[in-house]
Amino acid sequence: MSNPSEYLLGNADREHERLIRQAARLLPITEGFFREAGIASGQRVLDVGSGVGDVAMLLARLVGAGGKVVGIDRDPKSIRRATARVTEANLKNVEFVESDIAQCEIQGPFDAIAGRYVLQFLPEPAATLRHLMRRLRMGGTVAFLEGSWAPFVLLSRHLPLWSTGVRLLQEVSTHFGVNLEMGLDLHRVFLDAGLPAPKMRLEMELGHDPDFTRWVSDTVASLQTQFHKFQISLDPLGDLDTLQERLHAEVAASRTVAPWIALVGAYSRRQ
């Protein structure tokens, strides 16, 4: 496991832009899941691992003017970007706090605790959930979306270059200590945190357009420092300057679609 204070993908401007594009793709799945979990108008919600603010802004629209979203993230640069975006969107019901998730001391009570792609990076996700749940009212909702790479890897095999990129992303993430099957592990994590067994679902994004097919090349670019750190060669991908174009050409020539990481949602209520 790498240093817990380090984030796998970093916080460069390029990575922030990648996160914003990714969030736009995942918006329908995320919104539908949070609605199903019961996040609604007037609620007070704690957004865990806010990054540049996309989940917090979605939650802010769900809870409306009578609700409140508090987002926590440990990276000050990301918080500054998130705050600027909230101001630009004229959302008055969101605030961000710089804090380590595992040591969060924000005062409750909250009606819901939510997050996306965050527990997979934590060394002790169940212990962190137990800590956060002290701010959750009885009957309140815990709702998280996390990744599952198994179907992502399987459904990439018909695309040699895309599949190579996926394999290298999987390798560097594993070296870093990311739990690539946290989505499926959410059942166990919720139980270990003292929650009832969650309701769960799995959904995947599939696509073929240029905005979709840049997902692999964009992520490779954000992870170049980590590839170097773990001495993982990117030579199998060829010229990185043309990777995006070659990935798109491969998908287009296949007359099929490419997959992205499966997103598993799990929600439960504190009893």
Q: Kindly report the three-state secondary structure assignment for every residue of the chain.
A: CCCCCCCCCCCCHHHHHHHHHHHHHHHHHHHHHHHHHCCCCCCEEEEECCCCCHHHHHHHHHHCCCCEEEEEECCHHHHHHHHHHHHHCCCCCEEEEECCHHHCCCCCCEEEEEEECCHHHCCCHHHHHHHHHHHEEEEEEEEEEEEEHHHHHHCCCCCHHHHHHHHHHHHHHHHHCCCCCHHHHHHHHHHHCCCCCCEEEEECCEECCHHHHHHHHHHHHHCHHHHHHCCCCCHHHCCHHHHHHHHHHHHHHHCCCEECCEEEEEEEECC
The answer to whether residue 1 sits within a structural domain is: no
Q: Is 6 part of a structural domain of the chain?
A: no
Query: Model pTM?
Result: 0.93
Q: Is residue 22 part of a domain?
A: yes
Q: Residue 119's domain spans which residues? A: 13-269
- Residue 2 in any domain: the answer is no
Along the 271 residues of the chain, how does pLDDT read in single tens digits? 444 445 666 667 878 888 888 888 999 999 999 999 999 999 999 999 999 999 999 999 999 999 999 999 998 999 999 999 999 999 999 999 998 887 777 887 999 999 999 999 999 999 999 999 999 999 999 999 999 999 999 999 999 999 999 999 999 999 999 999 999 999 999 999 999 999 999 999 999 999 999 999 999 999 999 999 999 999 999 999 999 999 999 999 999 999 999 999 999 999 9
CATH number of the domain residue 82 falls in: 3.40.50.150
Q: How many domains does the chain have?
A: 1
In a domain, 182, yes or no: yes
**8 lies in a domain?**
no
